[in-house]
Amino acid sequence: MSETPLPEPPLAETPTPEKPLLEATDVTGGYVAAVDILHGVSMHVHEGEIVTMIGPNGAGKSTFLKFVVGLMRPRQGTIRFDGDDIVGMPPHMLAQRGIGYVPQTDNVFPSLTVRENLEMGGYRLDRAARDERIDSLVERFPALATRAGTRAGSLSGGQRQLLALGRALMVEPRLLCLDEPTAGLAPLAVVSTFQAIEQIQASGVAVFMVEQNARMALGMSDRAYVLDTGRNAHQGAGPALLDDPRVTELYLGGAAAAPPRA
């Protein structure tokens, strides 16, 4: 008597790639309609990643960031956050959706104290939630703990940058966008700022930054994009780009090893 054949096992499903948290495709545009600064730039950021965009001055890095955070609108292309088209949404709506932004300049209120700046960052929260969030951030950034009553305008550059990061984190964003976070800082403040960014990533917040300090930024980035004349020139894992001769010769001034993660 012949045996009944066993049924074939079901085919294993191919895993679906995780959808990016932020995805920009073929972004084109500039400050005036007749002159495009960006020409079809594409990039993406996944949950919990640090992604950096570098390139020479005038490459269009900060312009691209302004498109992402709603300060400008691209002429063509799409920008999606958590699957939704966000092109044309104003900054306050993007903040409500979970996109935080720290500009390069004017990122704190100099006449307000450290605590008042943090309160402004969480003005939508009720008093109890705001106080709890401030306590958490001051614990995360000890340099601010003893300066709560100090006016922001009297802080050092590094302390102001930590305050700007803390203010942006008050509403617990899913993605934090940073424009040149170490510009103009002293070397020790550069290190402390990058350490703070890594702490932010470790808490589960994705980070997308435009940065001129390319060596350190690439060394801590999951992925990076190099822009040149408004176009994607190179992309890859951050440390790998540090070892790419095309990138080191054109944008980093010669070969260098990636610095260790803090």
Residue with tokens 């932020």: 22
pLDDT score for 12: 45
pLDDT score for 51: 98
Residue 134 near residue 96 (C-beta atoms within 8 A): no
pLDDT score for 140: 87
Give the CATH superfamily of 22-108+173-251: P-loop containing nucleotide triphosphate hydrolases (3.40.50.300)
pLDDT score for 262: 39
pLDDT score for 5: 53
Q: pTM value?
A: 0.87
Please list the pLDDT of the chain residue by residue as tens digits (262 residues). 455 555 554 444 444 458 999 999 999 999 988 899 999 999 999 999 999 999 988 899 999 999 999 999 999 999 999 999 999 999 999 999 999 999 998 899 999 999 999 999 998 889 999 999 999 998 888 888 888 899 999 999 999 999 999 999 998 999 999 999 999 999 999 999 999 999 999 999 999 999 989 999 999 999 999 999 999 999 999 999 988 988 887 777 654 444 434 3
Question: Domain coordinates of the chain in residue numbers?
Answer: 22-108+173-251
pLDDT score for 3: 52
pLDDT score for 196: 95
